[in-house]
Amino acid sequence: MRNVYVLGVGMIKFGRYPQKDVAELSAEAALLALKDADMTIKDIQLLASGNLLQANAMVGQRILQQIGQTGIPIVNVSNACATGSTAFREAYFAVGSGEYDVAMAVGSEQMGKAGLLGGGGGRESVEGILGSGLMPAVFGQAGVEHMRKYGTTAEHFAKVSVKNHKHSTKNPLSQYQNEVTLEDVMQARMIAYPNTLYMCCPTGDGAAAAILVSEAVMKKSGNKPVKVGCSVLTSDPWTERDLTLPDVSTLTRTAAKQAYDKAGVSPDDIDLVELHDCFATAELLHYENLGLCKDGEAGRGVDEGWFEWGGKTPVNVSGGLLSKGHPLGATGVANIYEVVTHLRGQAGARQVENAKVGMAHVIGLGSACTIHILTA
Amino acid sequence: MSQPTTAPQTEKQARPIVPFLRLGSNGDTPHLVAKKCATCGAVYLGTRVACSKCFAPGPFNEIRLSDRGSLWVYSIVHQSAPGIPTPYVAAIVDLPEGASVRCTLVDVEPDPRKLEFGMPVEMITKKVREDKDGNDIIAFFYRPVQQS
């Protein structure tokens, strides 16, 4: 594999766009990335399009029908919540292999107000009868498991939500930009214990795009180079309860180890992390899974502000999925957008000072985990 | 009037909500069954083509699971899909044979203060609905072991 760089990124503000379709949203993000890269669609040699809810509707082709049908190869990607990051990985391999010099990844989703009700499979519903397979309960249980192991409290999880909402006030592309207090979070409507409303990511629409290029193309550009240090994808190995209580930790730990090895960095080198906080409980687990603190220390880390902007390792300075939003297929590329923006020193009021190494982590339940480490 | 093409309707029968629930007959009580990998001992609810733990292509032996187990973790669901009554305790129960069961815990208040990790639980069955032919659909639930 040869070196691969992110030359351009673009993202639309996450939110609700009932008047537009998903191809239009994606096209807007793609044009922003092209502008950022000082390129046109004629420069793009391959497109990887990540979209989950319209996985059978050729979203990639529809994007080019909006902005220029150049006849290039298009890969439509679906991989649960890791859809966008898997599309990014496809573009990474396209360039890294030497087959293409310029590839674009677009992640998009239009969810409206319907969440991921999960399940499917066509059988008669057992929801509520045989427990719950819905995301809020699954991630509630994962949080309760951490409580059981380490004595973590509901308040620890709630503080994650306070932090991410606070971060989002400085991100103009965040779906929500309002601060919430610990009391607000704790007293909000319970969705699935211990996650209250503010501890669950919202539904919404959004799109983000990234343009990946070879070193030769990068050198011709005036943009500050951001190198893809590694692209890791794992699936869930057999673990004791994975088939009943999806194990989001083991595959993240495996991915993290591979990512640090491949990128040649350690957790101490990481200046910022965008991780998959679909629920507040998930974020706290991933501090440990990604090696940002020791096992059992995440609660303490939350109390002491290790993961806040200005802390030891700032996590989700974009506002995270909890406040920036989580349009499923868009998320994995939006995380890359955030990290690249900081590594270039262009993140404005939320800039992590002197950021040189950033990590983007995504989990799709079922399960898929991607980790990308980017370096300036 | 046209004749029905299907066989004449037989007596209504109770049906388990999932194949790994056996309703019991001839005096046997309702219970869960699992497939156990003869090579590594991994236990599965439902069938596996090969063992996802050790990759052996079988054989799997069917084993009867205990009625009693212990509460591993839970969540209390206050908002679910449309039409599903809330709140309910969505639990993961561990059984001594090495099986882990996703289930709803009943006969307990949906309150974290009433739910203890490791608390002993026992399986019960209940009719939850009828299928389109009018057969009873029977599901399993767990409840705290009744102190006597």
**Contact yes or no for A192/B78 (Cβ under 8 A):** yes
Average pLDDT over residues A357-371: 97
Per-residue pLDDT tens over the stretch B29-76? 999 999 999 999 999 999 999 999 999 999 999 999 999 999 999 999
**B6: pLDDT strictly greater than 60:** no
Q: Is residue A179 part of a domain?
A: no
CA distance A96 to A228: 10
- Angle between helix A154-168 and A280-289 (nearest 10): 100
Total count of domains within chain A: 1
ipTM: 0.93
Per-residue pLDDT tens over the stretch A53-89? 999 999 999 999 999 999 999 999 999 999 999 999 9
Q: Is residue A173 part of a domain?
A: no
Average pLDDT, chain B: 92
CA distance A140 to A241: 15
Q: Is residue A98 part of a domain?
A: yes
Average pLDDT, chain A: 96
**Contact yes or no for A372/A360 (Cβ under 8 A):** yes
Per-residue pLDDT tens over the stretch A282-321? 999 999 999 999 999 999 999 999 999 999 999 999 999 9
Q: What's residue A115's pLDDT?
A: 60
User: How sure is the predictor about B11, in pLDDT bands with cuts at 50, 70 and 90?
Assistant: confident
Find the DSSP H helices in chain A.
22-37, 59-67, 83-96, 135-150, 154-168, 182-187, 215-219, 250-263, 280-289, 298-303, 320-323, 328-343
Q: Is residue A163 part of a domain?
A: no
**B3: pLDDT strictly greater than 60:** no
Q: Which A residues in the span 114-133 are in contact with B, Cβ-Cβ below 8 Å?
A: 117, 124-133
Nearest to B117 among A148, A191, A245 (CB): A148
Nearest to A131 among B45, B90, B128 (CB): B90
Q: What's residue B83's pLDDT?
A: 85
| Cβ distance of B139 and A238 shorter than 8 Å | no
Q: A-chain residues within 8 Å CB-CB of B18?
A: 126, 130
Count the neighbouring beta carbons within 10 Å of the beta carbon of residue A348.
10
Q: Which A residues in the span 140-199 are in contact with B, Cβ-Cβ below 8 Å?
A: 140-141, 143-145, 148, 189-195
Joined together, the tokens standing for residue A196 give: 């209250």
Nearest to A144 among B52, B73, B78 (CB): B73
Per-residue pLDDT tens over the stretch B69-80? 999 999 999 999
- Domain CATH number, residue A338: 3.40.47.10
Whether chain A has a CB inside 8 Å of the CB on B123: the answer is no
User: How sure is the predictor about A121, in pLDDT bands with cuts at 50, 70 and 90?
Assistant: very low
Average pLDDT over residues A46-54: 97
| Cβ distance of A144 and B53 shorter than 8 Å | no
Q: B-chain residues within 8 Å CB-CB of A137?
A: 75, 77, 90
| Cβ distance of B73 and A126 shorter than 8 Å | no
CA distance A37 to A147: 46
**Contact yes or no for A145/A290 (Cβ under 8 A):** no
A282 CA: distance to closest CA in chain B (Å)? 14
- Has A200 been annotated as catalytic? no
Q: A-chain residues within 8 Å CB-CB of B44?
A: 243
Q: What's residue A114's pLDDT?
A: 67
Q: What's residue A119's pLDDT?
A: 43
| Cβ distance of A128 and B79 shorter than 8 Å | no
Q: Which residue of B has its CA nearest to A140?
A: B75
Joined together, the tokens standing for residue B141 give: 């639930």
Q: Is residue A293 part of a domain?
A: yes
Q: What's residue B12's pLDDT?
A: 81
Q: Which B residues in the span 45-64 are in contact with A, Cβ-Cβ below 8 Å?
A: 45, 52-53
Quickly tell me which residue has 């704790």 as its tokens. A186
Which helix (H) or strand (E) covers residue A366, if one does?
none
Torsions phi, psi of A300, nearest 5? -65, -40
Mean pLDDT is lowest, of A123-137, A254-268, B120-134, for A123-137
Q: Is residue A193 part of a domain?
A: no
Q: What's residue B5's pLDDT?
A: 58
Q: What is the pTM of this model?
A: 0.95
Quickly tell me which residue has 């898997």 as its tokens. A86
Q: Which residue of B has its CA nearest to A196?
A: B78
Print the domain residue range for A281.
4-114+201-375
Q: What is the largest CA-CA distance in chain B?
A: 62
**A111: pLDDT strictly greater than 70:** yes
Q: Is residue A152 part of a domain?
A: no
A46-50 and A102-110 beta bridge pairing: parallel
User: How sure is the predictor about A155, in pLDDT bands with cuts at 50, 70 and 90?
Assistant: very high
**B1: pLDDT strictly greater than 80:** no
- Angle between helix A59-67 and A22-37 (nearest 10): 60
Count the neighbouring beta carbons within 10 Å of the beta carbon of residue A62.
21
User: How sure is the predictor about B130, in pLDDT bands with cuts at 50, 70 and 90?
Assistant: very high
